[in-house]
Amino acid sequence: MTKVVILAGGFGTRISEKTSQIPKSMIEIGGKPILWHIMQHYSLYGFSEFIVALGFMGEIIKEYFLHFFSLHHNLTIDLVSNTTQTHQGNIPPWKIHLVDTGVHTQTGGRLKRLKEWIGSDTFMMTYGDGLSDVNLQELLSFHKSHGKLATVTAVHPPPRFGGLTLKGDVVTHFSEKPQKDWINGGFFVLEPEIIHFISDDSTMWEKKPLELLADQGELMAFKHAGFWHPMDTLRDHRTLENIWLSEQVPWLLKKEQSYVLEK
C-alpha cells in the first residue's frame, strides 16, 4: 500500500485570522477540516494510509482523529447508567499516523524526520492546505514510468487579477488574466532516496532539495490542467467555501461519480 505524507505543521501566517487558535490544516470547508478533504480525495483513488506531519498546534489534529469515530456517528448517551452507544455510520477505511515533527521544523526537515515512518517504498506527499482534482492513479503511473526519484504535480495558479487591454487611457478589453506558467502544486510522488537531499530541520523542501533533484535530472513534472486551488488567504477560503456550496465539488468527484461521503 502506497503511503501518503501530508505536511500539516506550518503556522499559516498568511491566513492568521483563522490560525490564531487552530492549525491551518484544520480550517473548515463545509464543516470539515481541509485536511479531511485532502484525505478524502486520496481515498477516492484507493490510498488510505496517511502519515500526517504535525507541528504548530498538532495536538488539535490528534484530538480530532482521536474523536473521529464519535464525531461522525450518531450517539445515544444514557446519563443514568453512564453508558454511550455508538450507532453505525459511514467511516472511511483510513490508517492515520500522527507524527510530531517539531514546531519550527521546515518542510524538508519534516520529511527527513519521517524517514522511519516512510520506509523503503515509493510514497506520495502533499501539503495540508491545497485541493485538486488531479487523478492520483495516473500521477502514480506516470512516476513509475519514468524511473526518476521525484515527480511534482505542475499546475496553473488561479487567476487573481483581471487583464486589461488599453488604447491610450481607454480599456478596450477586459478578461481574467490567463495563467501560462506552471507552478509547484504539491501532490508529489517520491522515492525514499530523496531523504538524502535533505540536510536537517532547517531545510525547506522547495529550495535546495528540489533544486538539486532538478539539476541532476531526477525531478519530473506531471502536468495537471484541471482544478487546483490553495488556501493561503481569507479570499482563498471564501472561494473554496463557495465551491463547496455549488453542485459539484471537484476534489470529491472521480470521473463524474458521486461523492464518497454525503455532504
Residue 25's pLDDT is: 95
Q: For residue 169, count other CB atoms closer than 10 A to its CB.
A: 5
Domain 4-252: state its class. alpha beta
- For the segment 13-58, what is each residue's pLDDT rounded down to a tens digit? 777 777 778 999 999 999 999 999 999 999 999 999 999 999 999 9
Average pLDDT over residues 131-138: 97
Q: Domain spans of the chain? A: 4-252
Please state which of the ranges 18-22, 33-37, 65-69, 77-81 shows the lowest mean pLDDT: 18-22
Return the SS3 of 86: strand
Is residue 255 pLDDT above 60, yes or no? Answer: no
Non-local CB neighbours of 238 within 8 Å, separated by 6+ positions: none
The answer, yes or no, to whether residue 89 has pLDDT greater than 60, is: yes
pLDDT digits (tens, 9 = 90+) for 194-212: 999 999 999 999 999 999 9
Task: Specify burial of residue 61 (Cβ count, 10 A radius: 0-12, 13-18, 19+).
Answer: buried
The helix (run of H) or strand (run of E) holding residue 52 is strand 49-54
| Rounded Cα gap, residues 143 and 152, in angstroms | 9
Tell which residue, 223, 143, 213, 216, has the closest CA to residue 205: 213
127-131: average pLDDT: 96
Q: Cα–chain-centroid distance for residue 192?
A: 19
Q: Residue with C-alpha cell 490544516?
A: 25
Q: Which residues of 211-232 are buried (b: 16+ CB within 10 A; e: fewer)?
A: eebeeeebbbbbebeebbbbbe
pTM of the model: 0.88
Q: Name, in order, each residue with C-beta under 8 angstroms of 131's C-beta and a sequence gap of 6 or more.
A: 34, 37, 38, 41, 227, 228, 229, 231, 240, 250, 251
Q: What does the block give as the cell for 177?
A: 488574466
User: Residue 250 phi/psi, 5° resolution?
Assistant: -55, -45
Instruction: Check whether 262 has a pLDDT greater than 60.
Output: no
Alpha-carbon gap, residue 97 to 54, rounded angstroms: 10
Considering only residues 75 and 150, tell me which one the structure prediction assigns the higher pLDDT: 150
Q: How confident is the model at residue 221 (pLDDT cuts 50, 70, 90)?
A: very high
Question: What is the rounded distance in angstroms from the CA atom of residue 208 to the CA atom of residue 200?
Answer: 12
Smallest CA-to-CA distance from 222 within 139, 132, 145 is with 139
H helices present in 67-190, as ranges? 68-71, 107-113, 115-118, 136-146
Q: What is the mean pLDDT of residues 67-86?
A: 87
Per-residue confidence band for 261, with pLDDT thresholds at 50, 70 and 90:
very low
Beta bridge partners, 229, equal 131
Q: What pLDDT score does 13 carry?
A: 73
Name the strand (E) or helix (H) holding 132: strand 130-132
Average pLDDT, the chain: 89
Look at residue 72 in the predicted model and tell me its pLDDT: 78
Q: What is the pLDDT of residue 101?
A: 97
